[in-house]
Amino acid sequence: MKVLVINAGSSSLKYQLMDPDTEEVFAKGLCERIGIDGRLTHKVPATDGKYEFEIAMPTHAEAIQAVLDALTSPEHGVIKSMDEIDAVGHRVVHGGEKFACSVKIDQAVMDALEECIPLAPLHNPANITGIRACQNVMPNVPMVGVFDTAFHQTMPAKSYIYALPYEYYENDKVRRYGFHGTSHKYVAGRAAAMLGCPIEELKIITCHLGNGSSVSAVDSGKSVDTSMGFTPLAGVPMGTRSGDLDAGILEYLMNKYGYDMKKMMNVLNKESGVLGISGVSSDFRDIETAAEQGNQRAALALEAFQYSVKKLVGAYAAAMGGVDAIVFTAGVGENDGNTRMAIASGLEFMGVKMDAQANNVRGKEAVISAADSKVKVLLIPTNEELMIARDTAEIVGK
Ligand code: AMP
C-alpha cells in the first residue's frame, strides 16, 4: 500500500510517500514559501536523489500539484500515476475533545476541524487548506486526519483541568490538550518493543525535545499527563517559547511597557525560551557552542531547560507511582548526549543510572542506561510520518 503523508503548515508543506507495512519511503520533500513564491525540495531515498525546483505556489493547491507532479515525473518520480496513491494521511494539530483517535475525513470531520480553529488559529487553518487542496486534485482518494492532540485524550480530568472557574472548561473548552501526541505514542510503542514487554505493563516518560518540546507520562500505553497545555506554549522552555510562567508577569510587563496582548504573546512565543535566556539563538547547537566559549547566559539557558525537563521526569514518576523507562526523542533528544545526561543524571535515587559510553550515540535506537539501571533510558528517533501512514492504512483498510 502507498500512503501519501501530508503535514501542511501556514507557508510550508512536508510530504512523504511510503509503504506503512514495509516502512519503505519512496519519496519525501518539502514545499516552502507558499504564498510568497514557492520552492520544492524533492528527495528519492532509493537513489539518494535530491531535486530542487522554483515553482510558483500562490496557494497550497499549487504546492500539492507540484508534489504530485514530482512524484509522477518520468525523471525523478517514483510512481507512474496518481492512481498508485491508495490513501492520504494528514497531520492535524488540534482535534479538540472531538477526536481521540485518527478518523477518515468526511464533511462532518471537516466541519469539526473548522470548529477547532479558535483552539489553534495558527495551525488548523493550514491543515484544513492542505486537506482541501488534496481533495481537489485527488477527489477519489480516501483521506485520514491524524491529530497531535488525540493521544492525550486519555488524560484523566485531574490532569487536564485548569484551576479556573469551571465554566471556562464547560463553555469554552479551556483545558489541557497536549501536543506531539503522534510522537509520544510512537516512541512509547517502540520503547515497549525494545524492552520486549507489553506496553500495558509499562510506565514510560517520553521526552520529545526539539525546537518545540513536551514531556508525557504514558501509563499502560495511555497518556495520563503531558506538559503542553491548552496551546503548545506551555510546559518546558523551548527554542523560542517560554513554557510555563506566572500569568501575573503578563499584567506586569503589559502595564510597564504598554504592550497589547498581541505583542505580549509574540514575546512569549517568538522571543522567549532558550533564545530569550541566552540572547544567542533558538538552536541548541548554537547555544551549546556559545556556552562552551564561556557565554554564561547560554549556559544558563541550557541549565534552565534541562532542569525543567528533569523536574517533570520526577513529577511524572510520582504521578504514575513509578517509572520503568524514560525515552528521549526529537532533534535535541536524539542528538544531544550532553543534554540527555544532564537530565537523567542525579536521578539514581529513583533507579536511573546512565551509561556515559552508551549515551555517546546519535539518531538511532539505543539503550543509554547502565545494564543494572532499574529504570531503562532509551534513545528512540521519532517517526511521526510512519505513525500517520500506519493509522491511515488501518482506517482506510477497515
Ligand atoms: P526538531 O524540532 O525536533 O527538529 O529539533 C530541532 C532542534 O534540535 C534544534 O534546536 C537543533 O539545534 C537541535 N539539534 C539538532 N542536532 C543537534 C545536536 N547535535 N546537538 C544539539 N542539538 C541539536
Q: How far is the CA of 205 from the centre of ligand 1 (A)?
A: 20
384 known ligand binder:
yes
| Separation of alpha carbons 343 and 307, rounded Å | 7
35 known ligand binder:
no
Q: Whose CA is nearest to atom 4 of ligand 1?
A: 331
Q: How far is the CA of 274 from the centre of ligand 1 (A)?
A: 12
Q: What is the structure's pLDDT at 120?
A: 85
Confidence check: pLDDT of 356 > 90 = yes
Looking from the CA of residue 212, the nearest atom of ligand 1 is 2
Q: Whose CA is nearest to atom 8 of ligand 1?
A: 331
C-alpha cell at 189: 510503542
**Confidence at 343, pLDDT banded by 50, 70, 90:** very high
Does residue 80 have its Cβ closer than 6 Å to ligand 1? no
Does residue 278 have its Cβ closer than 6 Å to ligand 1? no
**Confidence at 387, pLDDT banded by 50, 70, 90:** very high
Q: What is the structure's pLDDT at 285?
A: 96
Q: What is the structure's pLDDT at 398?
A: 75
Is position 48 annotated as part of the catalytic site? no
Does residue 97 have its Cβ closer than 6 Å to ligand 1? no
Extended strands (E) in 33-115: 39-44, 49-54, 87-92, 103-104
Q: How far is the CA of 335 from the centre of ligand 1 (A)?
A: 7
- What average pLDDT does the segment 283-300 reach? 97
Q: What is the structure's pLDDT at 57?
A: 95
Q: 197-222: b or e for each residue (b if 16 or more CB lie within 10 Å)? A: eebeebbbbbbbbbbbbbbbbbbebb
Q: How far is the CA of 247 from the centre of ligand 1 (A)?
A: 29
Q: 165-179: b or e for each residue (b if 16 or more CB lie within 10 Å)? A: eeeebeeebbbbbbb
Confidence check: pLDDT of 26 > 90 = yes
**Confidence at 119, pLDDT banded by 50, 70, 90:** confident
Confidence check: pLDDT of 7 > 80 = yes
Q: What is the pLDDT of residues 134-150, one digit of tens each?
A: 999 999 999 999 999 99
Q: Which of 114, 219, 248, 234 is nearest to 174 (CA)?
A: 234
Does residue 330 have its Cβ closer than 6 Å to ligand 1? yes
Distance of CA 26 to the CA centre of its chain: 23
Does residue 274 have its Cβ closer than 6 Å to ligand 1? no
For the chain, what is the largest distance between any 2 Cα atoms, rounded to a whole number of angstroms?
62
- What average pLDDT does the segment 76-87 reach? 95
Q: What is the structure's pLDDT at 123?
A: 85
Does residue 239 have its Cβ closer than 6 Å to ligand 1? yes
Q: Of the residues 148, 324, 336, 391, which is catalytic? A: 148
Q: 323-356: b or e for each residue (b if 16 or more CB lie within 10 Å)? A: bbbbbbbbbbbbbbbebbbbbbeebeeebbbbbe
**CB neighbours of 50 closer than 8 A, spacing ≥ 6?**
41, 42, 43, 44
Q: What is the structure's pLDDT at 201?
A: 98
Confidence check: pLDDT of 116 > 80 = yes
Q: What is the DSSP letter of 299?
A: H
- What average pLDDT does the segment 190-197 reach? 98
Q: Between 297 and 116, whose confidence is greater?
A: 297
Does residue 332 have its Cβ closer than 6 Å to ligand 1? yes
| Separation of alpha carbons 371 and 356, rounded Å | 12
Confidence check: pLDDT of 122 > 90 = no
C-alpha cell at 58: 500562490
Q: How far is the CA of 333 from the centre of ligand 1 (A)?
A: 8
- What average pLDDT does the segment 326-334 reach? 97
* Contact indicator for 146, 383 with CB cutoff of 8 Å: no
Q: What is the pLDDT of residues 33-59, one digit of tens each?
A: 999 999 999 999 999 999 999 999 999
Computed on alpha carbons and rounded to an integer, the radius of gyration of the chain in Å comes to: 21
Confidence check: pLDDT of 235 > 80 = yes
**CB neighbours of 4 closer than 8 A, spacing ≥ 6?**
15, 16, 17, 67, 71, 85, 87, 88, 89, 134
Confidence check: pLDDT of 326 > 90 = yes
pTM: 0.95
Q: What is the structure's pLDDT at 361?
A: 98
Mean predicted lDDT score pLDDT of the chain: 96
Q: What is the pLDDT of residues 96-114, one digit of tens each?
A: 999 999 999 999 999 999 9
Place of cell 495551525: 123
Pocket probe mutation, ligand 1, options 332, 339, 360, max atoms within 8 Å of Cβ: 332
* Contact indicator for 210, 382 with CB cutoff of 8 Å: no
365 C-beta neighbours (distance < 10 Å), count: 15
Looking from the CA of residue 284, the nearest atom of ligand 1 is 12
Q: How far is the CA of 14 from the centre of ligand 1 (A)?
A: 18
Does residue 181 have its Cβ closer than 6 Å to ligand 1? no
